[in-house]
């Protein structure tokens, strides 16, 4: 046991110190509306309809949901938010959260945006990582076809090769800019192909230090073993391995598809099994930290506590560049700001993009923060607690 072993994640004074009273009241309003599942459901449909009819709802969304969960409409437009985070020692991972056009042109545009982020990040020490979604730069259908082992036409082969070329271009630039690079995980039906590409990148770019990070979703029963296998394959070539560890965001979709197509459900049987594998993966990383770097992408307090304890046991410095904690902007400030105040490396995913184009992202966050079985979200409860504390001062 260490002095760290009981982190006070209820310390709302630290969690919300970066927010003025007015900002906190605004967050409170946003969460109080999101607390009602039927409003979120109706609101999503109404907003989509209103936008389709060109009704002026953009301003309202921008001042509420968008302002809470996004940095701005562009990289530069997110600067004020990044500065506020940096003021509390919390770093930024700029996430272009626009679900772009699924076309070769759309993928090329995403590469250009990624290069802009990379060059911008170079000038800003508070941006340690760049990040990209595989389907932002290539067709999910094509990746799936490859995973199934189905033959490509020459034209498909060309488009498939282009996916790796795009990744390679962005990573080469990130490495030149001395920025770490994470590839998000999406659906299981093409993840093996993504893994292979990322290992190839690691063997090229992780020679001197771990720049390229693959993502493992520990809600999959295969992920822990996949991560260990990947680690062995990459480190056998003398290169560093690096992973972003998450639980996974597509559970329902994965289960529905498995049932529909009649294959084994790729998801763990219980939440507890996911939690256990998540922590097992953290322990593996820390045990192999000489050749392994990690970013724990989680809002789970127990997992953060566990990683902190593992670091202390192994004598790893809090600010060791090989260990990062990451949360989404507007969520789990009680974890991010607390850990940062204690000296750990913490970064927030800061989504950005034009309001109307980040709506799917905003609706997902709204759904995640509605009350479940009549119980308000943790975020809402903590904001209420902090408002009460400030009032009583
Ligand atoms: C910085 C950051 C980056 C992320 N990047 C990605 C990414 O690249 N790819 C991706 O898929 N997700 C990503 N996520 C989302 C992540 O996968 C989780 O959905 C989200 O963070 C909630 O999990 P949690 O660890 O915060 O904790 P918790 O709230 O404790 O866990 C909730 C999660 O547990 C799992 N779970 C819930 N119920 C069950 C059940 N019955 N059986 C099995 N498992 C269950 C699900 O994964 C669910 O999302 C990211 C999250 C963060 C914070």
Q: Is the CB of 248 under 6 A from ligand 1?
A: yes
Q: How far is the CA of 299 from the centre of ligand 1 (A)?
A: 8
Q: Is the CB of 65 under 6 A from ligand 1?
A: no
Question: What local confidence, expressed as pLDDT, does residue 52 receive?
Answer: 72
Q: How far is the CA of 254 from the centre of ligand 1 (A)?
A: 13
Q: CA 324 to CA 179: how far, in whole Å?
A: 14
Q: Is the CB of 274 under 6 A from ligand 1?
A: yes
DSSP state of 64: I
Question: What local confidence, expressed as pLDDT, does residue 366 receive?
Answer: 87
Q: CA 273 to CA 129: how far, in whole Å?
A: 29
Question: Pairing between strand 180-183 and 241-246?
Answer: unpaired
Q: Is the CB of 272 under 6 A from ligand 1?
A: no
Among 94, 298, 336, 375, name the best residue to mutate to test ligand 1's pocket (greatest count of ligand atoms within 8 A of Cβ): 298
Pick one of 3.20.20.220, 3.30.465.10, 3.40.1190.20, 3.50.50.60 as the CATH number of 71-352.
3.20.20.220
pLDDT tens across 258-284, in order?
999 999 999 999 999 999 999 999 999
Q: CA 245 to CA 76: how far, in whole Å?
A: 29
Q: Is the CB of 163 under 6 A from ligand 1?
A: no
| Percent of the chain whose pLDDT exceeds 90 | 81
Q: How far is the CA of 245 from the centre of ligand 1 (A)?
A: 9
**What confidence tier does 339 reach under pLDDT thresholds 50, 70, 90?**
very high
pLDDT tens across 182-192, in order?
999 999 999 99
Q: With a cut of 80, say whether residue 290 has pLDDT above it.
A: yes
Question: What local confidence, expressed as pLDDT, does residue 1 receive?
Answer: 44
Q: Is the CB of 300 under 6 A from ligand 1?
A: yes
Question: What local confidence, expressed as pLDDT, does residue 373 receive?
Answer: 64
Q: How far is the CA of 328 from the centre of ligand 1 (A)?
A: 11
Q: Is the CB of 251 under 6 A from ligand 1?
A: yes
pLDDT tens across 43-74, in order?
677 777 777 777 677 888 899 889 999 999 99
Q: How far is the CA of 39 from the centre of ligand 1 (A)?
A: 24
pLDDT tens across 161-180, in order?
999 999 999 999 999 999 99
Helices 188-205 and 154-176, packing angle to 10 deg: 50
Least confident piece of the model among 57-66, 132-141, 317-326: 57-66
Q: CA 120 to CA 389: how far, in whole Å?
A: 38
Q: CA 180 to CA 193: how far, in whole Å?
A: 21
Q: Is the CB of 327 under 6 A from ligand 1?
A: yes
| Percent of the chain whose pLDDT exceeds 70 | 96
Please state the rounded mean pLDDT for residues 104-115.
Answer: 95
Task: Output phi, psi for 133, to 5 deg.
Answer: -95, 135
Q: With a cut of 70, say whether residue 3 has pLDDT above it.
A: no
Query: What is this structure's pTM?
Result: 0.95
Q: How far is the CA of 275 from the centre of ligand 1 (A)?
A: 10
Please state the rounded mean pLDDT for residues 108-129.
Answer: 94
Q: CA 310 to CA 318: how far, in whole Å?
A: 11
**Residue indicated by tokens 């389709």:** 52
CB 294 within 8 A of CB 324: yes
Q: With a cut of 80, say whether residue 99 has pLDDT above it.
A: no
Provide CATH 3.20.20.220 ranges for the chain: 71-352
Question: What local confidence, expressed as pLDDT, does residue 33 receive?
Answer: 83
């Amino acid at each position: 046991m260490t002095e760290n072993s009981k982190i006070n994640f209820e310390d709302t004074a630290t969690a919300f110190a970066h927010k003025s009273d007015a900002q906190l009241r605004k967050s409170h309003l946003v969460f109080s509306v999101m607390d009602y599942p039927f409003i979120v459901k109706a609101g999503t449909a109404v907003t989509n309809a209103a936008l389709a009819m060109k009704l002026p709802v953009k301003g309202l969304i921008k001042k509420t949901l968008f302002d809470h969960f996004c940095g701005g409409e562009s990289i530069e437009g997110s600067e004020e938010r990044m500065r506020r985070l940096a003021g509390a020692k919390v770093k930024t991972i700029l996430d272009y959260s626009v679900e772009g056009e699924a076309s070769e042109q759309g993928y090329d545009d995403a590469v250009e945006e990624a290069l802009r982020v990379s060059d911008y990040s170079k000038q800003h020490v508070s941006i340690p990582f760049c990040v990209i979604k595989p389907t932002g730069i290539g067709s999910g259908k094509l990746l799936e076809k490859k995973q199934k082992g189905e033959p490509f036409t020459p034209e498909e082969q060309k488009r498939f090769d282009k996916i790796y070329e795009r990744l390679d271009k962005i990573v080469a630039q990130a490495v030149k800019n001395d920025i770490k690079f994470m590839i998000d995980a999406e659906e299981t039906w093409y993840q093996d192909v993504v893994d292979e590409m990322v290992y190839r990148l690691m063997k090229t770019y992780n020679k001197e230090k771990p720049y390229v990070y693959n993502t493992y979703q520990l809600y999959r029963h295969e992920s822990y073993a996949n991560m260990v296998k990947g680690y062995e394959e990459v480190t056998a070539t003398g290169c560093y391995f690096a992973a972003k560890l998450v639980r996974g965001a597509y559970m329902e979709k994965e289960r529905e598809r498995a049932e529909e197509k009649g294959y084994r459900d790729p998801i763990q049987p219980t939440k507890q099994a996911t939690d256990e594998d998540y922590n097992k993966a953290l322990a593996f990383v820390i045990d192999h930290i000489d050749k392994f770097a990690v970013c724990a992408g989680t809002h789970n307090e127990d997992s953060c506590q566990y990683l902190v304890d593992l670091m202390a046991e192994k004598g790893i410095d809090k600010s060791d560049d090989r260990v990062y904690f990451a949360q989404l902007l507007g969520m789990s400030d009680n974890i991010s700001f607390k850990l940062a105040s204690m000296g750990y490396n913490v970064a927030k995913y800061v989504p950005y993009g034009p309001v109307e184009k980040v709506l799917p992202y905003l609706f997902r966050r709204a759904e995640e923060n509605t009350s479940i079985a009549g119980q308000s979200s943790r975020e809402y409860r903590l904001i209420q607690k902090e408002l009460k504390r400030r009032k009583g001062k």
